Structure 1
Amino acid sequence: MAGKGAGKRANVKRAQQKQALKKATKARLKFEASLPKVSEDDLVAFQLQHFGDDTAPENWFIDKETAVQGPPLDDDLGSYEDGIQRTLTDEQIAIFRRTELWQMKQEQKLEREDDEDERAKRAMSPVSDVSSLEDDLLAYATVKRRIHLSPPKQLARRLSSNSRSDTTVSSAARKRPREEEVPYDQRHKRKWEAYVGHVDPEHGSLTQRRMAREQDDQQAEPVDLNY
């Protein structure tokens, strides 16, 4: 059943294609029939009326093969070694070669003149024999090499800050004496400690914290309690 349905659909499709082709052919024929008919006599009359007889071509119409392939080539020139038919005579080839050689010589002459002008400009420069372009290239190469050899900015900043901090700490450590080696009386006392010592010379330096610490250090005598 499935095979019969597929065959029926294929037949219907082919019939539709045939009908479409017939309609297209009929429309094309109708369009060609509506076009004006122009004969060679009509073209000759138009040519004589507007341009005269001197410009009339020998053949008005050509066949399709001639229009596609072009006019037949002359076999008198012969063929090349690979079998391709020649289209140029020896005289024409010689003319083309002379023209190419002349163009090459002109280009070489212009290049020599440009080189001489460039050398003259370099000689007139009092600063250096190197052109400005070469100076720019050298400067760019130098800067690029410096950038390549130098560390990144963040790393350089980190290294510089670390080195500065290390030198600061080391110098401060060398300059500052150790607190253990300096007696208490020779140290720079705080302002409040000097003020308290001036007000109360006997117990001025004894703060509440120090007094509590001394009381903790005192050994109390044992007391016997009789119950």
Structure 2
Amino acid sequence: MQGLTTEEAKKRLRIYGENRIERRKRIPPWKIFLNQFTSPLVLLLLVAALLSFSLAIARGEAYTDSILIIAIVLLACIAGFVQDYKAEQTIEALQRLATPKVKVIRDGIEQEISSVELVPGDIIVLEGGDIIPADAKLVKGELQVDESPLTGESRAVRKGEGDNVYSGCGVFAGKAVAEVFATGMRTELGKITAKMQEIEEEKTPFQLQMDQLTR
């Protein structure tokens, strides 16, 4: 099995780019928390708390309502923070699934290269203990694969000739040769990461109840 030539691999690298999962700049926890206070609903409640507090002082009354509103705002912001922080941690976990080195056949020689240099059409060698570096189709051999990063199920899945294996999944056992067909953000792992970064977070049940209260 010859694999790609070095020159062809360089050409494809220029076309497809490096095999890496891209993501937005990491958001620190304190910024995630402060972002919760930019919600129109939260701003509306803060204004209501301020007005209630001002009226209570003017009338010489207790400002119980103001305290209640502020407590509701804090609970909503904490709930939103927990949800957003978990999403941020999940994205970071997906990034850590990348493997630094991979065995590849180029110019008819098995060699070890940086996984970021992989391109579609590369022939890679996989065996027990490896993390699959890109989406690929098995052309020879058999593997027991952990697909939990994609499916959530940790049981071993048997993969044979003609089956697809996916970036970020671990190899429990076996040895196989596979042809890469997708790298970087074009892999299933890359698509999941992109969706998590782009899709607007759904509101928590508590936030939905707050929406109803302000109607």
TM-score (norm 2): 0.20
TM-score (norm 1): 0.19
More helix by share: 1
Higher RCO (C-alpha under 8 Å, 6+ residues apart): 2
More strand by share: 2
